[in-house]
Structure 1
Amino acid sequence: MRLRAPGIALACIEALEREIPEYAEKWLTPAQRAAAVESARRAIERDVGRLGVTETHQAARLADFRHRGRLACRRGLSRESVQAAVRVANRVVWREIADAARECGCSADVLYQLAEGMFADVETSMAAIAEGYTAAELAASGDGQRHRALLRALIDGRVPADVDGFAAAAGLTLPDRVAVVAFRAGPGAPDFPAGLIPAHVLADPGGPGPVLLSADPETDLAGLGRLPRGWIAAVGPRVGFAEAAESYRIALRAAELAERGLLGGTGPVVWCREHVTKLLLLADEFLLARLAEQTLAPLAGVGGHRREQLADTLLALVRTRGSAPELGRQLDLHPQTVRGRLKKLGELFGDRLEDPDERLRLELSLLAEKTLAI
């Protein structure tokens, strides 16, 4: 591979020029292009030289890619282009490695291990580039921009390995646990009001979806009760800051469901911790609707008010396994009325009413039907 390195480097640069125009625009002179080829050659030889010293190789390789991310940002290349360049270059290098391995008579198992290791490196390389790129963005921006860039990196799941260093560069100290708050504006809602978010809270009130990150949401969010009509603030679960993206995902989902009226009368602030069951139930509405359609098929031939009565009785039955008198008290019905309904349900569902797994499916389906009006 050392002997092939100059040719591989040239092939990499040619592939980048063909497939990523943004790179070709940076190599306008022969000297610039020659410098790019030489840089690629050194990187290839450096990686070859690190083989066999795994930990040292990984640490140094990722440091190289963080450096490349920083350089790309400073040179005006987009994050997407520099990450695409990693994929393109690795594809070229892999072809050369595969050719060399075949010439040397390497077995298919060796080729498989080479491919597995190399393509795993692609993902870690792109993550390191993103870290370096984000670090350069933070260093080049003012405090407000730094705060927003760090917040967006956290909620997008791009948590830098040196997140504490990133936070320090932005003038912040990250707490151990945080909650992400996602805001949603309904049709006709006014602009996001100024002054509701405390100055010390990491927030990005602009853009299509205002968002903030709080270590103490009970205190920090006291002003959100003054959100104007049409706005919803959903407070995600408290998590370690490395899991901020999950808190954000759940908060976004809660805000959407609240806007549709599926979480009940919650007011302008929705606390996800109070709606865990519904959030879990409604995590995949498509599958939930299919489950209800299949599980409640025996009720398909029952129409109108009679079906609603049987569904209410069935839900009470699978939840409590109570007797007719107990269900009658729960439903405010005469026990004899309940007995009639239970007889009909027995005819429709048979032994399924005795199966714990089936009862769970029935309960989920009935709850979905009530919540989504399937």
Structure 2
Amino acid sequence: MAGGPAPTGVELPPEVAVAIRANLPRVADDVVRVIIDEVPSYTDAFSGPMGETIRSAVRVALGGFLSIVSEGRAGAAQRTPAAAIEGAYQLGRGEARSGRSSEALLSAYRIGARVSWQHLSAAAVENNVDATSLGAFAQAVFFYIDELSAASVSGHGDESATAGRVRQRLLDRIARHLLTDAPEKTVLSAAERAEWPLPSTLTAVIVPESQVGSVLQLVHQGTLQAADLPELDAAVLLLVPDAHGRRRAALLRGVEGRNCLVGPARPWLEVRSSYDRARRAQERGLEVDTEAHLPELVLTADPEALADLRAMALAPMADLRPASAAKLAETLRAWLLHQGRRDDVAAALFVHPQTVRYRMTQLRELYGDKLEDPDTVLALTIALGVEPDS
């Protein structure tokens, strides 16, 4: 971009400036034509009124330059007028709003400089401008265009940053509405304002702050973020669109080893339930895929009810010494889970099958016929389904 001191004034003879100024409409037409030919993103941009606006802008910019060099004083530093800088800055902002990149804008400036110089230098040579003056003229031309391009890129960057911040605020609002069970009409309105494509599903993913950037590169670009949630410590919630079916496996592979927790895919307006499950899994110290821990999540959904059920189901062992009661409860749990296969129970407990037989005899003495009762078996299975210290 523009750098170094401004070139000193160019002593351009008045008749040369007049000749060049008379040729400005053709210069502007050529600049626009070559930009259309060489920069694909401008192919349709200059059609209709927009094309005439750009041609007029080129004529005004070059006319302003000619005024500088024809009215300048020898030895005085050339100064680009503030109005020209402001116009270039606003052009850059407009290009950002139109969706064209700063690279395309700079390409257009480079082409404009090249084509303009071809015309300006030809006119100068035809009017017998000497080599020294021609060199100074070239320096002034490219310094002027460089300053304009720098102003345009600055405007483009400022507009892009502003637009990015505005859109991020709108996306944050969607996430906030989804997590607070806002009315559907409110959520849809926020999505429309943010121009956010409505997904079929959303999946809640709790991600450590240090991993957010890496994970965002792996997921759908429409992913919503919810940072600074009071219940999350040094973590960010991502709401990932359409990560259901086969895409869930890809999501799980992507977050593996990153200390993330992935909730279930839910219809997008119901993503709060996905987040709630991920939070419960986090509280239980579970890892990665909440769907791999459904039995434990179900059994621990109401800790007080589980504790009451456990106390009721294990009441026959209440009068035993704690160590004996713990061994019998452990054996009964394995017996239920392995459907009474003594050898499998022994292997799971790392004891001899005879030990299993002895303990089960004790349990039958304590429970009697209740171990054959389906309701008792169900209660014991649920009560012992999760290890007491897990």
**Normalising to structure 1: TM-score of the pair?**
0.51
Q: Counterpart of 2:316?
A: 298
| Per-residue deviation, 1:221 | 6.8
| Per-residue deviation, 1:342 | 1.4
Is the 8 Å Cα contact of residues 197 and 223 (structure 1) preserved in structure 2? no
Which secondary structure state, in structure 1, belongs to the residue aligned with residue 384 of structure 2?
Answer: helix
What do residues 259-289 of structure 1 show as CA deviations (whole Å, max 9, x unaligned)?
xxxx3xx3xxx21111111111110111111
Is the 8 Å Cα contact of residues 197 and 221 (structure 1) preserved in structure 2? no
Task: Read off the aligned partner of 1:153 and give its amino acid letter.
Answer: H
Q: Counterpart of 1:255?
A: 282
Task: Read off the aligned partner of 2:172 and give its amino acid letter.
Answer: R
C-alpha distance in 2 between matches for 1:303 and 1:346: 17
C-alpha distance in 1 between matches for 2:223 and 2:252: 10
C-alpha distance in 1 between matches for 2:226 and 2:335: 48
Which secondary structure state, in structure 2, belongs to the residue aligned with residue 175 of structure 1?
Answer: coil
Cα distance, 1:292–1:244 mapped onto 2, change above 3 Å: same
C-alpha distance in 1 between matches for 2:250 and 2:171: 20
| Per-residue deviation, 1:144 | 0.8
Which secondary structure state, in structure 2, belongs to the residue aligned with residue 236 of structure 1?
Answer: strand
Q: Counterpart of 1:274?
A: 292
C-alpha distance in 2 between matches for 1:329 and 1:222: 33
Q: Counterpart of 2:130?
A: none
C-alpha distance in 2 between matches for 1:201 and 1:323: 49
C-alpha distance in 2 between matches for 1:339 and 1:224: 45
| Per-residue deviation, 1:156 | 2.0
Residue number among 175, 181, 204 corresponding to 2:199 in the alignment = 175
Cα distance, 1:205–1:219 mapped onto 2, change above 3 Å: farther
| Per-residue deviation, 1:177 | 1.4
Q: Counterpart of 2:307?
A: 289
Residue number among 221, 225, 235 corresponding to 1:203 in the alignment = 225
Residue number among 259, 262, 267 corresponding to 1:240 in the alignment = 267
C-alpha distance in 2 between matches for 1:151 and 1:284: 28
| Per-residue deviation, 1:314 | 0.8
| Per-residue deviation, 1:244 | 0.9
Give aligned pairs, total. Answer: 214
Which is worse superposed, 208-217 or 354-363? 208-217
Which secondary structure state, in structure 2, belongs to the residue aligned with residue 301 of structure 1?
Answer: coil
C-alpha distance in 2 between matches for 1:325 and 1:362: 21
Is the 8 Å Cα contact of residues 181 and 235 (structure 1) preserved in structure 2? yes
C-alpha distance in 2 between matches for 1:163 and 1:256: 29
Q: Counterpart of 2:365?
A: 347
C-alpha distance in 1 between matches for 2:341 and 2:222: 57
C-alpha distance in 2 between matches for 1:327 and 1:218: 34
Q: Counterpart of 2:355?
A: 337
Is the 8 Å Cα contact of residues 177 and 187 (structure 2) preserved in structure 1? no
Is the 8 Å Cα contact of residues 295 and 361 (structure 1) preserved in structure 2? yes
Largest Rg, 1 or 2: 2
Cα distance, 1:361–1:272 mapped onto 2, change above 3 Å: same
Task: Read off the aligned partner of 1:248 and give its amino acid letter.
Answer: Y
Cα distance, 1:149–1:348 mapped onto 2, change above 3 Å: same
Which secondary structure state, in structure 1, belongs to the residue aligned with residue 185 of structure 2?
Answer: coil
| Per-residue deviation, 1:165 | 4.3
C-alpha distance in 2 between matches for 1:165 and 1:178: 18
C-alpha RMSD of the superposition:
2.8
What do residues 71-103 of structure 1 show as CA deviations (whole Å, max 9, x unaligned)?
xxxxxxxxxxxxxxxxxxxxxxxxxxxxxxxxx
| Per-residue deviation, 1:332 | 4.6
2:167 paired with 1:143: yes
Which secondary structure state, in structure 2, belongs to the residue aligned with residue 212 of structure 1?
Answer: strand
Is the 8 Å Cα contact of residues 252 and 289 (structure 2) preserved in structure 1? no
| Per-residue deviation, 1:321 | 3.8
C-alpha distance in 2 between matches for 1:279 and 1:204: 24
Which secondary structure state, in structure 2, belongs to the residue aligned with residue 161 of structure 1?
Answer: helix
| Per-residue deviation, 1:304 | 4.6
User: Structure 2: 5+ residue runs without aligned partners?
Assistant: 1-164
Is the 8 Å Cα contact of residues 150 and 166 (structure 1) preserved in structure 2? yes
Which secondary structure state, in structure 1, belongs to the residue aligned with residue 276 of structure 2?
Answer: helix
C-alpha distance in 1 between matches for 2:205 and 2:343: 46
Which secondary structure state, in structure 2, belongs to the residue aligned with residue 276 of structure 1?
Answer: helix
2:324 paired with 1:312: no
Which secondary structure state, in structure 2, belongs to the residue aligned with residue 142 of structure 1?
Answer: helix
What do residues 266-323 of structure 1 show as CA deviations (whole Å, max 9, x unaligned)?
3xxx211111111111101111111111211222222254333212221122234425
| Per-residue deviation, 1:358 | 0.9
Q: Counterpart of 1:212?
A: 238
User: Structure 1: 5+ residue runs without aligned partners?
Assistant: 1-140
Task: Read off the aligned partner of 2:280 and give its amino acid letter.
Answer: R
C-alpha distance in 2 between matches for 1:326 and 1:194: 47
Cα distance, 1:246–1:318 mapped onto 2, change above 3 Å: same
Is the 8 Å Cα contact of residues 182 and 211 (structure 1) preserved in structure 2? yes
Is the 8 Å Cα contact of residues 159 and 242 (structure 1) preserved in structure 2? no
Which is worse superposed, 174-183 or 327-336? 327-336
Is the 8 Å Cα contact of residues 157 and 244 (structure 1) preserved in structure 2? no
C-alpha distance in 1 between matches for 2:179 and 2:261: 14
Question: Percent identity over the alignment?
Answer: 30
Task: Read off the aligned partner of 2:272 and give its amino acid letter.
Answer: A
C-alpha distance in 1 between matches for 2:254 and 2:342: 50
Which secondary structure state, in structure 1, belongs to the residue aligned with residue 264 of structure 2?
Answer: coil
What pairs up with 1:101-120 in 2 under 5 angstroms? none
What do residues 76-132 of structure 1 show as CA deviations (whole Å, max 9, x unaligned)?
xxxxxxxxxxxxxxxxxxxxxxxxxxxxxxxxxxxxxxxxxxxxxxxxxxxxxxxxx
Task: Read off the aligned partner of 1:202 and give its amino acid letter.
Answer: L
Task: Read off the aligned partner of 2:238 and give its amino acid letter.
Answer: L
C-alpha distance in 1 between matches for 2:305 and 2:335: 24
